[in-house]
Every structure is written in structure tokens, then in C-alpha cells.
């Protein structure tokens, strides 16, 4: 018997989420030696999430620049600053500023 369409979709989404996690693990491991490869992994993970309509978890979403798809590592590819009620992450490749609220 074949699976229902709903079961197939949920299986595909679950598999996509696992692949996204794996791509971010690879990006983190490869950053020291090949930073351009880690940016490629991050871009692939982001595209896969968009294709299969899977939201990236918050911790992973903040590691990718939305405009240039580069992998963000504080101190080397991004700058992190605290301003009043926001954490400001600046991509050093394209200059985009991403602000995330926080409470003291």
C-alpha cells in the first residue's frame, strides 16, 4: 500500500529539517579551513528550507545573512553589538544589519 499524500509531505519535511541541520553542522566544521564552502552550505540549507516550507530554527536562522547568504561567525564574518534592547549583528561581507530584541 502506498502512503497517503499527507504522510509523504510530513516525511519530506522531516527529512529536509534533518538535512538542514546536517548542512549547518558541516558549515561549522568547514569554516576554519574553507569559509566559502561553509557559506555555500548555509545558502543550500536556506534554499532547502524555502523549497520545502520548513522554517529554520532560530539559532540557525541567525547564523545566515539574509541578503548575501553568507555563514555568520561572530568576530570573523559578523560583528555583534548590544544596543539598548537589541542585539545588532552586522554582516561584514555585505553590510546588512540584523536586529534581534532581548530583555535585560
Q: What is the pTM of this model?
A: 0.86
User: Does residue 3 have a pLDDT over 90?
Assistant: no
CB-CB contact of 77 with 53 (8 Å): no
Q: How many CB atoms lie within 10 A of CB 85?
A: 11
pLDDT of 2 reads 67
CATH number assigned to the domain covering 5-101: 1.20.5.420
CB-CB contact of 42 with 23 (8 Å): yes
pLDDT of 87 reads 95
Q: What pLDDT digit, counting tens, does each position of 30-86 carry?
A: 999 999 999 999 999 999 999 999 999 999 999 999 999 999 999 999 999 999 999
pLDDT of 103 reads 81
User: Does residue 1 have a pLDDT over 60?
Assistant: no
Amino acid at each position: 500500500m502506498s502512503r497517503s499524500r499527507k504522510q509523504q509531505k510530513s516525511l519530506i519535511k522531516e527529512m529536509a529539517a534533518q538535512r538542514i541541520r546536517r548542512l549547518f553542522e558541516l558549515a561549522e566544521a568547514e569554516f576554519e579551513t574553507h569559509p566559502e564552502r561553509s557559506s555555500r552550505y548555509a545558502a543550500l540549507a536556506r534554499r532547502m528550507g524555502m523549497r520545502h516550507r520548513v522554517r529554520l530554527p532560530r539559532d540557525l536562522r541567525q547564523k545566515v545573512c539574509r541578503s548575501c547568504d553568507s555563514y555568520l561567525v561572530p568576530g570573523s564574518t559578523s560583528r555583534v553589538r548590544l544596543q539598548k534592547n537589541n542585539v545588532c549583528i552586522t554582516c561584514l561581507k555585505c553590510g546588512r544589519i540584523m536586529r534581534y530584541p532581548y530583555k535585560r
